[in-house]
Amino acid sequence: MNFRNAQYLVSAARYDQCPPDEGVEVAFAGRSNAGKSSTLNALTGQRNLARTSKTPGRTQLLNFFTVTDDVRLVDLPGFGYAKVPTRVQQAWNRTLDHYFRGRESLQGLVLVSDIRHEPSAFEQQLLDWCSDAGLPVLMVLNKADKLSRNQVAQTVLRRRKVCGSANSALRVIAFSALKKQGLDELRAAVTAMLHAEQAPGEKNPDPTGE
């Protein structure tokens, strides 16, 4: 998949404002400052792609980017901002809940975390939504350049253990948007999600066929 062709399409504040539910898409989520924008920029080889999602007024929206006519990347609202009123958080939760449950074209979630931070309650919530919807999750442990090789390896193993039970289709990779470490793996994993073969209406067929 040539992610370099990614272009901003549209932003949605509510589920009914999303573009038509056709083709395939992969969503990106992450706590604010984890490096979600840097990861999207590294993936697409575009320095400013995700800046679009950071312009005032857009940080609380779902921002859609097209890669081809029927392939999209979706930048979900960054979470973890200290000063978001509860009522706004509840509205996001409703929109995201609706999105994860209803969006047929959604093939998987890339969850960008700072490798030095433990998973938050909201990350757990995202894993639960994906698990309920039968969606695979790629957990990108970003800022791996901040830790030693040994610490990185241990954190990846621990995270697989802690979060793997909440989502059986979870994959964890170490990544550094800064050093472009893990970029080939990220590209391959997102491409695989977008190409995942499936029967209509079945997001994550049981590999055992049962």
Per CB under 6 A, does 38 bind ligand GDP?
A: yes
Q: Looking at 177, 189, 190, 193, which residue binds ligand GDP (CB under 6 A)?
A: 177
- Let me know: does 61 contact 11? Beta carbons within 8 Å: yes
Per CB under 6 A, does 60 bind ligand GDP?
A: no
Per CB under 6 A, does 180 bind ligand GDP?
A: no
Task: Take residue 182 and report the two structure tokens written for it.
Answer: 């893990």
Per CB under 6 A, does 34 bind ligand GDP?
A: yes
Per CB under 6 A, does 36 bind ligand GDP?
A: yes
Q: Which residues pair with 140 in a beta bridge?
A: 112, 173
Per CB under 6 A, does 75 bind ligand GDP?
A: no
Q: Which is nearer to ligand GDP, 37 or 105 (CB)?
A: 37
- Let me know: does 166 contact 132? Beta carbons within 8 Å: no
Interface stretch with ligand GDP, choices 88-96, 139-147, 163-171, 185-193 (CB under 6 A): 139-147
Strands (E), the chain: 7-12, 24-30, 62-68, 71-75, 106-114, 137-142, 170-174
Dihedral sign from CA coordinates of 42, 196, 98, 65: positive
Nearest-angstrom CA–CA distance, 129 and 67: 25
Per CB under 6 A, does 37 bind ligand GDP?
A: yes
Q: How many residues does the chain have?
A: 210
Per CB under 6 A, does 146 bind ligand GDP?
A: yes
Per CB under 6 A, does 35 bind ligand GDP?
A: yes
Interface residue list for ligand GDP (CB under 6 A): 30, 32-38, 78, 142-143, 145-146, 176-178
